[in-house]
Chains A and B, each alone.
Chain A
Amino acid sequence: EVQLVESGGGLIQPGGSLRLSCAASGFTVSTNYMSWVRQAPGKGLEWVSVIWRDGTTYYAESVKGRFTISRDNSKNMLYLQMNSLRGEDTAMYYCARELQIAKGQGAFDCWGQGALVIVSS
């Protein structure tokens, strides 16, 4: 069964750091385009970052320079390192897989259940 399970969310003070993890099963992370998408409470979806099959990464302007997406092929895991966190980063963070035929265009066919990050003092 294809599945994504996020972990690592929690309450963190402004300026702090947090690393989200996403465990994949039923498919290989390194052969897919993988993204992080977030949703602030009561708000819409916001794309955060993508890592391509070849390892190329892209970020939303709102997180560029603060967040880093990465993967561990040996563990079949996706990560999001979040530094210099701000109140506006408070959200549910989803890891998402693109359709096999997709190439980073935002066709996410598999989503995790989400990890809640709350940035507050």
Chain B
Amino acid sequence: QSALTQPASVSGSPGQSITISCTGTSSDVGAYDYVSWYQQHSVKAPKLMIYDVTNRPSGVSNRFSGSKSGNTASLTISGLQAEDEADYYCSSYTTSRSVVFGGGTKLTVL
């Protein structure tokens, strides 16, 4: 199972909005509405930000939103804040009953 494709890096200024894409195939992203997004600061454990494409766990800011079209999912962060600077990973359930992650995107807040 190949990793999902994410841009290596994105950047934005405080207050702006950014979108991170996550492209898979019809065997993963396109097969189910089971895409999750994680935020990871330096060497800390990842934090779940979005699950099942659009849902936010309790406690996650509504500045984070998710969507999907075909084999590509997206994470949008609005009103960028300095604390949003981190690595972001998408994941998807697959038709093989496994989970595949994206390669990760480094978000820089300018």
A residues bordering B, Cβ < 8 Å?
A: 35, 37, 44-47, 50, 58-61, 94, 99, 102, 104-109, 111-114
CA distance A64 to B104 in the complex (A): 24
Q: Which of A94, A106, A114 contacts B99 (CB 8 A)?
A: A106
With both chains docked as a complex, state the minimum distance between the C-beta of A2 and any C-beta of chain B, in angstroms.
Answer: 12
- B90-101 toward A: CB 8 Å interface, digit per residue (1/0)? 011100111111
B interface vs A, CB < 8 Å? 1, 3, 32, 34, 36, 38, 40, 45-48, 51-52, 57, 89, 91-93, 96-104
Q: Which residue of A lies closest to B55 (CB)?
A: A107
CA distance A46 to B98 in the complex (A): 11
A102 to B47, CA, bound (A): 16
Interchain Cβ contacts under 8 Å between A and B, 12 examples? A44-B104, A45-B104, A47-B98, A50-B98, A60-B1, A99-B48, A104-B99, A105-B34, A107-B48, A108-B36, A109-B48, A109-B51
Contacts of A46 in B (CB 8 A): 101
- Are A106's CB and B92's CB within 8 A? yes
- Measured CB to CB, the nearest residue on chain B to A60 is B98
Decide if A106 touches B91 in the complex (CB within 8 Å).
Answer: yes
- The listed residue (B32, B40, B47) touching A105 by CB distance below 8 A is B32
Which A-B residue pairs are the 9 nearest by beta carbons? Answer: A106-B99, A105-B34, A107-B51, A111-B45, A105-B93, A47-B99, A44-B104, A45-B101, A106-B91
User: Shortest distance in angstroms between A66's beta carbon and chain B's nearest beta carbon?
Assistant: 16
Q: Which residues of A contact B96 (CB under 8 A)?
A: 58
State whether A109 touches B57 (Cβ < 8 A).
yes
Q: How far is the CA of A48 from the CA of B3 in the complex (A)?
A: 13
Closest residue of B by beta carbon distance from A46: B101
Chain B proximity of A89: nearest CB distance (Å): 17
Residues of B within 8 A of A107 (CB): 34, 36, 48, 51-52
Determine how close the nearest CB of chain A comes to the CB of B37; give it in whole angstroms. 10
In the complex, which residues of chain A have a beta carbon less than 8 angstroms from the beta carbon of B97?
58, 104
Cα–Cα, bound, A113→B43 (Å): 9
Most chain A beta-carbon neighbours within 10 Å: one of B98, B102, B104: B98
